[in-house]
Amino acid sequence: MKALQLAARGDPCEVVRLVEVPDVGAPRAGEVVIDVEASPVEPTDLAIIAGTYGYLPPLPHLLGAQGVGRVAAVGRDVDYVREGDRTLVPLLSNAWAERVKTDVPWLRPLPKGDVGQLSMLGIDPPTACLLLTEFVRPRAGEWVIQNAANSGVGRSVIALARARGLRTVNVVRRAEVVAELTALGGDVVLVDGPDLARRIAAATDRAPVELALDGVGGESTQRLLDAIAPYGTVAVYAGMSGEPARVSSPNLVYTSQCLRGFWVVTWLRRQTSVEKVASLYRECAAASTPYPIAGEFGLGEHAEALTVAAKFRGKAIFKPNG
């Protein structure tokens, strides 16, 4: 069976290699074998390769944070998917391979759709969904602010917020994506800058905003804090700027605001309700929004795919089975 393996931490084009590994074999009781149809190169994958992610298995190890495929075989006592169903590859299950075997009981058949888009359901949409519920629960008509609005999480926030009747202020770092995010349903789209809080106040008619979502870090974190109400919360889920969040401790004290971190992997590991996870992914599939795809690649084209992915102008999608 062909798969992509990480030999060392470093430059993706130098440390990722195509290898032949033993097939996953037949499923035992409670297990499912999935033929992988598509798996994107995610920031998660690049962080694992660089050695900066929160989960780093011992080297060498196989790669692929998420994906989608067809159920090839099911073991005894599996009644939640059947052979031939299209389903997700669970997070961190080494989806850059021809097949995976898993015993995750929350898997469900996916609706019809583009296989490349479906392959991106595993990380960003549930992150977006949980960011809107785990810390503050905005009510219909209320505002949520987010930066990194052009990211996979950001696009999912727009779709899920609209489905719930919420309004969004979407902060980006490039003016050329403003029109695109507006067309996707973003109520307000602004380019980040020092006067961000003033412009958000004007756009929302000074509405008291209780929740902001931070995927950038650096100085942008404090700008989100400046834009929300006293006792409001900024939920931090990524640091795309590569810089640590810079915040004013006195301001946090005087406004009683809160910074909360969030990682979907931790949430899934702590979750004991199978149906709650399955319901989460059903909502995500129903409210999914397309993300630009930069190209599709075989496993043998991994250097090209990783180069494309590092530009962050669309997803590179591996098609392990051609």
Q: Are 99 and 32 in contact (CB under 8 A)?
A: no
CA distances from 15 to 11, 105, 184, 272, 275 (A): 6, 33, 37, 36, 39
Q: Are 171 and 190 in contact (CB under 8 A)?
A: yes
Query: In the chain, helix, strand, coil percent, each to 5?
Result: 30, 25, 45
Q: Are 6 and 61 within 8 A, CB to CB? A: yes
> Which of 212, 215, 216, 236 shows the shortest CA–CA distance to 224?
212
Residue 73: alpha-carbon gap to chain centroid: 28
Alpha carbon distances (Å) from 83 to 78, 80, 144, 298, 307: 10, 11, 41, 24, 35
How far is residue 286's CA from residue 128's CA, in Å, rounded to a whole number?
Answer: 14
Of residues 53, 55, 231, 291, which has the active-site annotation?
53
Whether 53 sits among the annotated catalytic residues: the reply is yes
Tokens at 9, concatenated: 């931490």
From CA 14, how far away is CA 253, in angstroms rounded?
47
**CA gyration radius for the chain?**
20
For the annotated catalytic residues, the residue numbers are 53
